[in-house]
């Protein structure tokens, strides 16, 4: 998987940072997919600077309905249609997302030529398929807001076919049962336990993408042991009280969460527009005192997971 940051500014865009959006390129050989998390104004313009086209998107997850996470959606949906894309698209977001999309399309005389499904999420499982699942966690913000935890299922370990053949066990339907870890009885009466011939399971990658939030009870579970934690750090540590009073987090709080949750890596994003490049570097330095594996998101940065 790779995550591409399309916008990393809080509230308003700056010359170097657009408002929030992230692309998750799932890069699976048989079940590839392109998911968008949040869609601030100008997201489709930002996508023009990447190798990805909105037509390739198959799912969009919105964390909350604040404009800096949402106002790019109608334009992107319409452009996707005008380009002749017919691939279905699913949108997930808090209550009100359906009304927002349907109303903006209707009032502007717009439509989509592709099947569009809109699902209003509640805390819990949002998407599950044979490879991965997405769970929504409620955050603490002035409007209903979610963080999304994306988890690949663990991959079963490979079957040691050579060892089985060396035991005189023929390849065939038996191998499938052994691969599932089952115990089978051979025609000659021998009992073979598949678990004895399986490599350890490979744990799936885990990723947590937070929406805007002050520290809250769900954060720890959402971020627990993830390979990558994406968290807002709207303000510096000295302005923590102000950040929290508006439903946001400070650098220290984002980094402390990464440490407490056992995350492998933290990327901080959603920086207030008050910070220039130097300010951003100070924010990063603050985080690193609590969690060394922190990086600062920049527009178009790519993080491999």
Question: Catalytic residues, which ones?
Answer: 68
Cα separation, 92 vs 78, in Å, equals 17
| 231 carries a ligand binding annotation | no
Cα separation, 184 vs 165, in Å, equals 15
Cα separation, 305 vs 302, in Å, equals 10
Check binding of 41 to Zn ion (CB under 5 A).
no
SS3 9: strand
Cα separation, 3 vs 304, in Å, equals 6
Cα separation, 145 vs 137, in Å, equals 8
Among 17, 66, 132, 206, binds Zn ion (CB under 5 A): 66
Specify whether the CB–CB gap between 280 and 245 falls below 8 A: no
Residue closer to Zn ion, measured from CB, 151 or 212: 212
- What is the smallest separation between the CB atom of 229 and Zn ion, expressed in angstroms? 17
Of 44-52, 64-72, 169-177, 221-229, the segment contacting Zn ion by CB under 5 A is 64-72
DSSP label of 235 = B
DSSP label of 199 = P
Q: Which of residues 67-96 bind Zn ion (CB under 5 A)?
A: 68
Answer positive or negative: Cα dihedral of 255, 260, 265, 269: negative
Q: Which of residues 174-213 bind Zn ion (CB under 5 A)?
A: 212
Residue closer to Zn ion, measured from CB, 133 or 246: 246
* Interface map 209-248 toward Zn ion (x if CB under 5 A): ---x------------------------------------
Annotated binding site for Zn(2+): 64, 66, 68-69, 141, 212, 270
Binding residues (CB under 5 A) for Zn ion: these are 66, 68, 212
């Amino acid at each position: 998987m790779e995550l591409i940051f399309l916008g990393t500014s809080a509230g308003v865009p700056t010359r170097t940072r657009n408002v929030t959006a992230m692309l998750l390129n799932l890069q699976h050989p048989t079940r590839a997919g392109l998911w968008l998390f949040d869609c601030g104004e100008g997201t489709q313009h930002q996508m023009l600077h990447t190798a990805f086209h909105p037509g390739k998107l198959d799912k969009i997850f919105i964390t909350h309905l604040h404009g800096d996470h949402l106002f790019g959606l109608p334009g992107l949906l319409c452009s996707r249609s005008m380009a002749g894309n017919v691939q279905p698209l699913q949108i997930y977001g808090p209550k009100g997302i359906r009304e927002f999309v349907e109303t903006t399309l209707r009032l502007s005389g717009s439509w989509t030529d592709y099947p569009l499904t809109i699902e209003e999420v509640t805390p819990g499982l949002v998407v599950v398929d044979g490879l991965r699942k997405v769970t929504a966690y409620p955050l603490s913000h002035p409007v209903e807001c979610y963080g999304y935890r994306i988890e690949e299922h663990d991959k079963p370990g490979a079957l040691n076919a050579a060892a089985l053949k060396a035991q005189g066990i023929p390849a065939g339907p038996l191998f499938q049962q052994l691969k599932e870890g089952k115990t089978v009885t051979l025609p000659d009466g021998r009992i073979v336990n598949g678990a004895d011939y399986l490599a350890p399971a490979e744990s799936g990658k885990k990723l947590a993408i937070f929406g805007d939030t002050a520290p809250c009870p769900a954060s720890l579970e959402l971020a627990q042991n993830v390979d990558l934690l994406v968290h807002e750090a709207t303000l510096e540590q000295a302005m923590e009280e102000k950040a929290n009073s508006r439903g946001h987090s400070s650098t220290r709080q984002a980094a402390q969460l990464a440490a407490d949750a056992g995350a492998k890596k933290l990327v901080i994003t959603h920086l207030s527009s008050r910070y220039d490049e130097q300010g951003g570097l100070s924010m990063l330095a603050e985080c690193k005192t609590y969690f060394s594996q922190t990086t600062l998101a920049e527009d178009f940065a790519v993080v491999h997971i």
